[in-house]
Structures are given as C-alpha cells and as structure tokens.
Amino acid sequence: MENSRIHRLSEDVINKIAAGEVVERPASTVKELMENALDAEASHIEVQIIDGGKTSILIRDNGCGMTEEDLNLCYLPHTTSKLLSADDLFHLMTNGFRGEAIASIAAISKLTITSRTEQADEAHFIKINGGTREDCGTNATPKGTTFLIEDLFFNAPVRKSFLGSDTLEASKILDTVTRLALANPNVRIDYKANGREIFTGVEGNDLKSRIAEALGSGVAKVMLPVDYTEDGIRVSGFVAPPEAFKNKRSRLYFYVQKRPIWNSIMTKAVTRAYEPYGKENAPTAVLFLEMQDTSVDVNVHPTKREVRFANENAVFLAVHHAVRDAFQKSAKDCPTIRLEDITLGALPSGKTECAQDNQVAKKIAAPTSFATRETPNFTASEPAKPYHSEDPEDIIQDLFSLPEAGNVIPLTPQSFNTPAKMDKVSPPQFFQLAKTYIVCEDSEGLLLIDQGAAHQRILYEEALQSLENQGTLETQELLFPELVELTTIESSFVPALIPKLDHLGFHLELFGKNTYQLRGIPRELILSRAVAAVHEMLSSIAEGENVADPTKETLAKAWALSNSYRAGDELGTEEMTALMAELLATQDPMTSPSGRPTLMRLPIADINKRFKR
Ligand code: ADP
Ligand code: MG
C-alpha cells in the first residue's frame, strides 16, 4: 500500500465534491428541496430565507412525510425512494432520482430535518452537522416535512467566497421559486425573505392565475394561449403578444415534462418568432414541452437543469411554430374588420387593435378593393329594397346593402321595411356549419357558402391578376427548408416551372435527384400544409394541357386549390367576414375556379312551406 499513490476518496470528500455539483448556491438548495416536497405530493410549500439563504433556508411542506427509518437514511449518499433501476433514469415521473441532494446539502451545512407521516403519532427530527448526525428526537410537528438549513457552506470556505451578495442570491431564489410555482399552479406556495412576504400562490390555481401571481396581472392579462403539437412534441402554455413588452427584459420560462429547464434552442425558437415584429419587443413566455421520455435526456447535468434533446431541430420547429401559431390565432380572434368599415369604404385607418402580422394586414387590406369597387349596387345613395331574384348581384346587394344613413342593415326581411330601425342595427352574423360552410341570413332567406370554394375563387383571381401584371405574390421564407420528394413524372416538368412557382410564392431548389428543398411558401399558407400544397399544386398543373408551359389560368387555379381553406378549417368571425367581403368583390362570386358553386340560398318561402305555415 505504501507504494501506491492512488487511493479511494473518503466518503466525506466524495460528498463535498458532489455538493459542489448539486449545491452551487442557496437557490439550488431551494430548488432541490422544493422538488422533493412536490415529489412528496405536498399541496402547500413554505419557503423562508434569511440573508439570501446564507444564514438560513427553511422549507416546509405538508406532503407524505418520512418514517423514522427513512429519515435516518435520506441524508446518506445515493439514497432515494424514487429510482430503482437504471431503466428508470429514462422515465421522469418525479423531480429527484439521484438520491444526492440531501446528502450534498447535509455535507456542507447545519441541517435539521423534521418529518411526520400520516400514520405516525409524532414527528421525528434529526440534526446533521457537516454530514454527521448529532442529534435526534421527536416533537409534535404536524404531517409533512421541514428542512432547516443553517450556515450553508460553513465548512467549504472557498465555495462560500464565490457566492454573490445577499440581494443577488435572494433574486436567484425568487427566480427558482417562480419557475417551480409556474409549473405547479395547483400547489400553494408562500415565499418569505427576511420575514417579508415576497410571493404567495394560492392552492388549486390554473396556469393563467398563477402567471398573474408570479409575473403580475398585467402580464397575465395579455398572454395568448399556446397549444400546438408537431412531430410528437406538444407545446403548451402562454406567450405575450409580440408588441406587449417593448424594451423590457425577456422573460422565458421553459419546462420539459413539467421540469424547469434552461435551453438555448428553445430560447432561440421563441426569440425568432418575435423578431419579425421588431427588435425591441421582449419575448415573454411560459411554455411546457411534452414528448416521449426517450426523446429527452435530463441526466446530463447534476441539477437536471439542462436537458439534451434527441432531435433539437424538431424541438426548435415545434416551439417556433407554436409561438407563431399563437400570434396568428390571436390576430384572427381580434376585431380587425368591421363590416361597417367595409361597406362605407372607410377602411381600417391602418391601425387595428392587434393587427400583428403581414398575414393579418393582408386580410385587412383585401376588402379595401371591395369597398372602393365601383359597383352601382353599392352606392350609398341608393335606398335598400328587397330583391327577389337569384341574380348573384342581388344576393350581394342584400348582404351588404347600404342605407342612406350609411349604416349597415341587418339581413332580416323586416329591416328592409322599417328604415327607422336602421340606425341601431348590427352587421350580418356569420356562423360556421360543419367547419365547412358559412351560414348567414339575407333578406330572402338562408345563405350557405362553401368556404373552400369561395376561398378558391378569391385566391384564383388574386393569382391571375398577379400573373397578368407580372407581379410576385408574397412569400414567407422558411427558416428550416422542408424537403419535397417528387415523383419521376413531377421531376420531369418541375425545372421548367421553377420561375413561375417563384412568382406564386413557392421557392423550390433542387436538392438531389427528385428531391427539392422548399425554401419559401406563399404568405397565407399554413406551414404544416406546405409540402402537401406543393404536391397539390403540381398535380393540378399536371391536369392542364401543357404541363411544361401551363396557362396563367391553370397556374392560378392550381395555386388557389393548394392554398385555400379546407373543409374542417375553423374560421373566426373576422375571417368569415373578410372571406365574404373578398368573395363578393370577385368577378365571378358564384362559382369556384373549378366550376363548383360557392353559395346557395334556401329561401324563406321554401322554409315556410316545409313548416306548413
Ligand atoms: P432524490 O430526490 O433524488 O430521491 P434526495 O436526496 O433529494 O434524493 O432525497 C432522498 C429521499 O428522501 C427521497 O427519495 C425521498 O424518499 C426522501 N425525501 C426527501 N425530501 C422529502 C420530503 N420533503 N418529503 C418526503 N420525503 C422526502
Ligand atoms: Mg431530490
């Protein structure tokens, strides 16, 4: 033995090394112990610190508690009730699993643990000083567990010297408490620093109310819901609209399987989603990722704070799309177009409450042409009167008739006969039927509009006009180009089409034999439909007469078919209103470019007959 320089480290040294990894600072102690309390299914956790946690940290929970035996084991290294086999490492049901935290904390502090289970008659406590048990006994503490940590790093002076000011350490603790509080809105959490109440989260909350408690009601109020799944990754939670917090610090709270994590990929994915709206906008988000346990490794960092994803690209895309999706949905939900504006020609004076992106801007802008269109039917001076023919122009007239007063007439037969009521009337109401049709009333009865066919008509004319004027339709560049596999036949004619596809907003680049990279798609197209749209576009072009040199009409039709709303797409009121306004502004509002009817009327007279009136 004397010749050997190598020897096993003593248990004490091993624990101190481990402590250095797990317990970086007071905040990491708070994190580990709060997580233990959550694992113990506590519904109430109290955290109290003195002097940034350097003097003392107290964490009390009302969870399952420990028996006397468990209490005497829990502070020893590698003791855990959570991990039985190495396989469990990959299934993260609990927060802890390494059995290191308490041993690490015990090694570098003066620790008192008091615990009592439901069944026990009394609570047991132990006192540990620098890893050594010094005292034990019983008392009358109620069910649950209390950790009191005093003099953190008292026997590790070097580590202690690395700590920041009390204020800095306290702010790190507050951040830890906030992150865990957001992940567990149902748990009551009370946090006090130097005797002062800093944070209180009531029990049984939902995430939105917890956000109000943790980040302020101003933040909670504007937050947009996120719920999006892509590639087996579910992203849920809340994001602030892009322009809500200008020139502020970004506030990002990320979780994987409900664990708080730091991850630069997720930060980038969210930040990128905000960027198009201006650099000064502060990303603010509380986002939860759920994915298969095998897609994420939480075991790369002793404090389990950093994670490694099996497919970082998929995580980036899912998060990025989730945030963009939330922005876009909110843009749809807000009142961007009022029918009065459309019919009066006084269109959105540029500003709408939450017009947040080009897509919306475009939707808003589109009806302008409708409003300013020179159609005799729309002259404001012409008094409204009921029409009784199937002439398409008449239906248009009915839908958006303009009284002298300049107000919109509701589409009820009576309203046409009682002009006195005109002042107080509301615009036409649209409903969606089977997520396929738009339903509304006109003076003649019930109108049914096929949303897909109607949208195709609009898009067809838009594309045709752009092709005729040699214009280019707006594109959204894809951050991560998608690959499109073509059939041999498609590959044979696609090269000749590339410039035309470019004009229509589809940017394709040869990537390999029969494979193209899709680098940009039309502005209005939803990303998840991009690749399918290319295939649809190509197959409808292939139906035309000259595949290599299709007519403008063929191209416009193919574009319209591949970009339009589908049966099953949910449309909001504003989208329906915009769609109707745009449809009625087209040259041929009654038929789709494929010759299908876009709208149908069920006359009141027929309905009356059926009810035997
Ligand atoms: P781990 O959490 O990785 O299992 P710890 O060192 O944090 O390791 O805890 C060791 C064990 O002590 C836990 O597995 C658990 O059984 C018990 N324990 C710790 N904290 C609590 C608590 N607040 N309530 C009940 N049991 C606890
Ligand atoms: Mg633990």
Percent of the chain whose pLDDT exceeds 90: 41
State the pLDDT confidence band at 152, using cuts at 50, 70 and 90.
very high
74 CB near ligand 1 (under 6 Å) = yes
Per-residue pLDDT at 357: 36
342 CB near ligand 1 (under 6 Å) = no
304 CB near ligand 1 (under 6 Å) = no
Per-residue pLDDT at 367: 30
- Give the residue whose CA is nearest to atom 27 of ligand 1: 36
In testing the pocket of ligand 1, which one of 102, 104, 112, 184 has its CB within 8 Å of the most ligand atoms? 102
Segment of 42-46, 168-172, 291-295, 490-494 carrying the highest mean pLDDT: 42-46
32 CB near ligand 1 (under 6 Å) = yes
Compute the distance from residue 287 Cα to the ligand 1 centre, in Å. 27
- What is the average pLDDT across 209-218? 92
Residue 48 above 70 pLDDT? yes
568: tokens are 């099953």
Compute the distance from residue 493 Cα to the ligand 1 centre, in Å. 65
400: tokens are 């958006």
Check the CA dihedral 10-13-15-17 and report its sign: negative
What's the one-letter identity of residue 36?
N
Q: Are 126 and 71 in contact (CB under 8 A)?
A: yes
Pick from 16-25, 128-137, 272-281, 368-377: least confident: 368-377
Per-residue pLDDT at 313: 87
Residue 548 above 70 pLDDT? yes
Query: Which of 337 and 465 is assigned the larger pLDDT?
Result: 465
Per-residue pLDDT at 344: 28
Per-residue pLDDT at 264: 84
222-252 residue pLDDT tens: 999 999 999 999 999 999 998 888 877 889 9
Q: Which is the closest atom of ligand 1 to the Cα of 36?
A: 20
Residue 495 above 80 pLDDT? yes
| Complete DSSP assignment for 397-436 | HHHT---TTSPPPPS-HHHHH-GGGGGGPPPP--EEETTT
Give the number of whichever ligand sits closest to the CA of residue 118. Answer: 1
137: tokens are 């006994």
Cβ atoms within 10 Å, residue 436 = 16
Query: Quick one: how many helices (H) and strands (E) in the chain?
Result: 20, 22
Per-residue pLDDT at 299: 65
Compute the distance from residue 98 Cα to the ligand 1 centre, in Å. 10
Segment of 145-149, 311-315, 406-410, 426-430 carrying the highest mean pLDDT: 145-149
Residue 90 above 70 pLDDT? no
Taking the C-alpha atoms of residue 427 and residue 176, their distance in angstroms, rounded to an integer, is 50
State the pLDDT confidence band at 334, using cuts at 50, 70 and 90.
very low
Per-residue pLDDT at 18: 61
In testing the pocket of ligand 1, which one of 30, 31, 34, 36 has its CB within 8 Å of the most ligand atoms? 36
Residue 423 above 80 pLDDT? no
Compute the distance from residue 39 Cα to the ligand 1 centre, in Å. 8
Nearest one of 427, 426, 409 to 418, comparing CA atoms: 409
446-458 residue pLDDT tens: 888 999 999 999 9
Residue 306 above 90 pLDDT? no
99 CB near ligand 1 (under 6 Å) = yes
| Architecture category of domain 404-613 in CATH | 2-Layer Sandwich (3.30)
- Give the residue whose CA is nearest to atom 18 of ligand 1: 36
Pick from 121-125, 192-196, 367-371, 493-497: least confident: 367-371
- What is the average pLDDT across 172-187? 95
Strands 188-193 and 44-50, by their bridges, are parallel
564 CB near ligand 1 (under 6 Å) = no
CATH code assigned to 215-330: 3.30.230.10
Give the number of whichever ligand sits closest to the CA of residue 34. Answer: 1
37 CB near ligand 1 (under 6 Å) = yes
Pick from 15-19, 511-515, 555-559: least confident: 15-19
Q: Which is the closest atom of ligand 1 to the Cα of 61?
A: 23
Residue 315 above 50 pLDDT? yes
Compute the distance from residue 200 Cα to the ligand 2 centre, in Å. 23
Residue 415 above 60 pLDDT? no
Per-residue pLDDT at 589: 83
Task: Give the bridge partners for 290, in sequence order.
Answer: 234
Segment of 5-9, 113-117, 156-160, 398-402 carrying the highest mean pLDDT: 113-117
Per-residue pLDDT at 564: 93
582-594 residue pLDDT tens: 888 788 888 899 8
102 CB near ligand 1 (under 6 Å) = yes
- CATH T-level fold of 11-201: Heat Shock Protein 90 (3.30.565)
CA dihedral 168, 208, 238, 265 (to 10 degrees): 40
98 CB near ligand 1 (under 6 Å) = yes
Residue 338 above 80 pLDDT? no
Residue 553 above 50 pLDDT? yes
Per-residue pLDDT at 123: 97
Pick from 30-39, 426-435, 526-535: least confident: 426-435
440: tokens are 């509304």
- Give the residue whose CA is nearest to atom 8 of ligand 1: 99
State the pLDDT confidence band at 561, using cuts at 50, 70 and 90.
very high
Domain boundaries, the chain: 11-201, 215-330, 404-613
Mean pLDDT of the chain: 79
What's the one-letter identity of residue 357?
D
- What is the average pLDDT across 301-329? 83
Residue 78 above 90 pLDDT? no
81 CB near ligand 1 (under 6 Å) = yes
Compute the distance from residue 344 Cα to the ligand 2 centre, in Å. 65
Residue 14 above 70 pLDDT? no
Give the number of whichever ligand sits closest to the CA of residue 75. Answer: 1
Q: Which is the closest atom of ligand 1 to the Cα of 104?
A: 6
Per-residue pLDDT at 12: 67
139: tokens are 């008392």
Residue 282 above 60 pLDDT? yes
Compute the distance from residue 232 Cα to the ligand 2 centre, in Å. 29
- What is the average pLDDT across 54-64? 97
State the pLDDT confidence band at 88, using cuts at 50, 70 and 90.
low
44 CB near ligand 1 (under 6 Å) = no
For residue 290, CA distances in Å to 91, 180, 254, 403, 506 come to 13, 17, 11, 55, 32
Nearest one of 43, 46, 42, 29 to 111, comparing CA atoms: 29
Residue 65 above 50 pLDDT? yes
State the pLDDT confidence band at 599, using cuts at 50, 70 and 90.
confident
Residue 191 above 60 pLDDT? yes
147 CB near ligand 1 (under 6 Å) = no
In testing the pocket of ligand 1, which one of 21, 34, 35, 74 has its CB within 8 Å of the most ligand atoms? 74
3-state SS, residue 134 = strand
Query: Which of 6 and 352 is assigned the larger pLDDT?
Result: 6
Compute the distance from residue 229 Cα to the ligand 1 centre, in Å. 34
Instruction: Tell me whether the CATH fold assigned to 215-330 matches the one assigned to 404-613.
Output: no
Q: Which is the closest atom of ligand 1 to the Cα of 94?
A: 2
- Give the residue whose CA is nearest to atom 17 of ligand 1: 74
Pick from 43-47, 96-100, 297-301: least confident: 96-100
Residue 281 above 80 pLDDT? yes
523 CB near ligand 1 (under 6 Å) = no
Per-residue pLDDT at 296: 83
State the pLDDT confidence band at 541, using cuts at 50, 70 and 90.
confident
- What is the average pLDDT across 196-215? 92
Compute the distance from residue 243 Cα to the ligand 1 centre, in Å. 43
- What is the average pLDDT across 480-486? 86
Where does 223-357 have alpha helices with state H? 264-274, 312-333, 339-344
Q: Are 148 and 154 in contact (CB under 8 A)?
A: no
State the pLDDT confidence band at 595, using cuts at 50, 70 and 90.
confident
